């Protein structure tokens, strides 16, 4: 359920900033009044056009006044950002607060979609187990607030970019 929304042809930067701060305040009111650890999950640089980088920076600056805040760019299986790319995308967020994601080593297996179910729903086009993994830091750290940042759009390969693809690898 949406907490609030704006329906317009275009939302300018100042209005977007006020909406992000409104969202952050809603997190404090609805999720945790005094967070100690906050995790921000923006898309990677391939989705920079969405404005998610500066939205992440606004969230970071808001929560950093009261909590430890970390960012994990949701790379999926893309190459990790360089320090220069992080600076370009995330502005003044300190590099040591931007955690690297390595999909080969950082995944925590949550389970699998069994091959027989995959075969059934694909009409036999696929017939193998599909692993369900998430970055271990999302599961193993004591986060008070986790914010998934970005716009939901059709993905070039499968499903939708952002939304749950920000959590699950691949």
Query: Exposed (0-12), middle (13-18) or buried (19+): which is 46, by Cβ within 10 Å?
Result: middle
Quick one: the chain helix, strand, coil %, rounded to 5? 35, 20, 45
Mean pLDDT of 147-166: 66
Question: Does the pTM exceed 0.85?
Answer: no
**Which domains, and CATH codes, for the chain?**
13-105+136-166 (3.40.50.11440)
Does the pLDDT of residue 167 top 70, yes or no? no
Q: What is the pLDDT of residues 3-20, one digit of tens each?
A: 777 788 888 899 999 999
Dump pLDDT digits (tens) for 48-69: 677 889 999 999 999 999 999 9
The H or E element containing residue 13 is helix 13-30
Q: How far apart are CA 43 and CA 100, in angstroms?
A: 13
């Amino acid at each position: 359920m949406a907490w609030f929304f704006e329906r317009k042809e275009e939302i300018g930067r100042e209005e977007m900033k006020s909406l992000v701060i409104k969202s952050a305040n809603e997190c404090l009111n609805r999720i945790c009044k005094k967070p100690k650890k906050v995790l921000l999950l923006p898309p990677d640089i391939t989705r920079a056009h969405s404005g998610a980088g500066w939205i992440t920076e606004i969230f970071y600056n808001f929560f950093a006044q009261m909590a430890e805040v970390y960012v994990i760019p949701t790379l999926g299986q893309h190459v990790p950002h360089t320090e220069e790319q992080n600076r370009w995308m995330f502005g003044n967020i300190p590099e040591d607060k931007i955690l690297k994601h390595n999909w080969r080593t950082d995944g925590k297996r949550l389970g699998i979609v069994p091959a027989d179910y995959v075969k059934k729903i694909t009409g036999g086009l696929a017939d193998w187990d599909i692993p369900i993994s998430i970055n271990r830091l999302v599961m193993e750290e004591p986060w008070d607030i986790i914010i998934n940042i970005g716009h939901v759009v059709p993905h070039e390969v499968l499903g939708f970019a952002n939304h749950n693809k920000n959590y699950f690898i691949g």
